[in-house]
Structure 1
Amino acid sequence: MKTFWDERYSQKEYVYGTEPNEFFRDQLPLLEPKSILLPAEGEGRNAVYAATRGWNVHAFDQSIEGRKKALALAAMHNVNITYEIADVLTVQLPHNHFDAIGLFFAHFHAQQREQIHARFLSSLRSNGTIIFEVFSTKQIEYQQQYGSGGPQQKELLYTAGDVETLFVGCDLLLLEEKEIVLNEGEFHNGKASVVRCVARKR
């Protein structure tokens, strides 16, 4: 998968755009700016947005090309971000460190999800907030009808129940499956079905 993402991000254009994820843009201003972890951050649009809002940003992704573009975008906006090259299965994260986590359209195989999300939650402080959005299992039909992107294997997609299970030990402030219209560059565009969640670690 590293090769896949390096090839995708090697394009001159920002393939998912330079504006932040819409759900992230709506939710982040509700929190006091402190420290935030952004896993699987790609080309850095969410990291740069958070930094412009005064957050101390730690991002990571497996793609070197994604990191290059993220740092270039940060420079364009005159902000600093920390961006590590790491894999979600092996990344070393500090315990009880971050005040928030933002995770968007990062789709993991069902057998890996619990392990990966447990690592993320371990790095979050008590009362820390998770802002989370993924494609729902209904997205297969939306891909066929609208070409709006996302994994084509149903096992990589989520139900609201799947997401609730991932965040055991958290209070769910918002959990919904809904239809939205994506406008995030070439690969996320059109009507789509997503699961959105805001959770607070106990």
Structure 2
Amino acid sequence: MSNFWNERYAENEYAYGIQPNQFFSESISKLPENGKILFPAEGEGRNAVFAAKNGFEVFAFDTSMEGKKKADKLANDNGVKIDYRVGILEELDFEPASFDGVVFIYSHFPKAIRATIHQQIERLLKSNGVVIFEAFSKEQLQYPSGGPKDIEMLFSEEEVKEEFKNIAFDFLKTEIIELSEGPFHQGKGSVIRFIGKKK
């Protein structure tokens, strides 16, 4: 998958724009003030940079070096610093129970490893750490607005509950939204959103 993302992010244009995801920008106040926040599969850095501009200590990771280059440029252009690491999670030396929040925005991992990664990331959260999550639902295959074409990489609410067993959900819902995020997220789409806290 890193080759796919390196090719997509190698273009000069930001694939999903430089503005933060709407749901995240509306929900950022749910994160602990000035907290240490992790952004998995962060791509070109738009959400991580937004969090840094709002006073958070920001860490991010992805498997794409091209994504990191774009994220570092965006951070520099905005006068902020983010700690962006390239690699797979278990190689990145994050400390258990060290983050105040995790923000998953379209973090679609292959089904074979997804539940394991979610559990590993849960362990990085402090007790009562906040999770903000938006990803495409399985119904997204009906829409041409972006996202994986493999239904197993998409989510149902039941899968979310199963894979985030240690999260107490403030809410969990499936919604039809209008996407306008760079060239690759445009039009009507079906997403699953939740905000919750680690038990």
| TM-score, normalisation: structure 2 | 0.96
Q: Deviations over 1:5-59 (max 9, x none)?
A: 1110000011100001111101112332210000111000001000000000011
Q: What code does the residue aligned with 2:163 have? A: L
Alignment counterpart, residue 167 of structure 1, candidates 160, 164, 189? 164
1:89 positional shift: 5.6
Q: Deviations over 1:167-200 (max 9, x none)?
A: 1122101100010001111111100000001110
Structure 2: which 5+ residue stretches go unaligned?
none
Is 2:149 the counterpart of 1:148?
no
Paired position in structure 1 for 2:120: 119
RMSD: 1.1
How many aligned residue pairs are there?
198
1:90 positional shift: 4.3
| TM-score, normalisation: structure 1 | 0.95
1:114 positional shift: 1.7
SS of residue matched to 2:13: coil
1:92 positional shift: 3.0
Q: Is the 8 A contact 1:167 1:199 kept in 2?
A: no
**Between 189-198 and 24-33, the greater mean CA deviation after superposition:** 24-33
Paired position in structure 2 for 1:37: 38
Q: Is the 8 A contact 2:122 2:166 kept in 1?
A: no
1:109 positional shift: 2.8
1:84-99 → structure 2 map (5 Å cutoff): 84-88=85-89, 90-99=91-100
Give me the whole-angstrom Cα distance separating, in 2, the residues matched to 1:197 and 1:88.
22
Give me the whole-angstrom Cα distance separating, in 2, the residues matched to 1:196 and 1:78.
30
Paired position in structure 2 for 1:182: 179
Give me the whole-angstrom Cα distance separating, in 2, the residues matched to 1:159 and 1:53.
31
Is 2:191 the counterpart of 1:194?
yes
Q: What code does the residue aligned with 1:18 have? A: I
SS of residue matched to 2:138: coil
Identical positions, percent: 43
Give me the whole-angstrom Cα distance separating, in 1, the residues matched to 2:184 and 2:50.
20
Paired position in structure 1 for 2:47: 46
SS of residue matched to 2:134: strand
**Between 174-183 and 161-170, the greater mean CA deviation after superposition:** 161-170
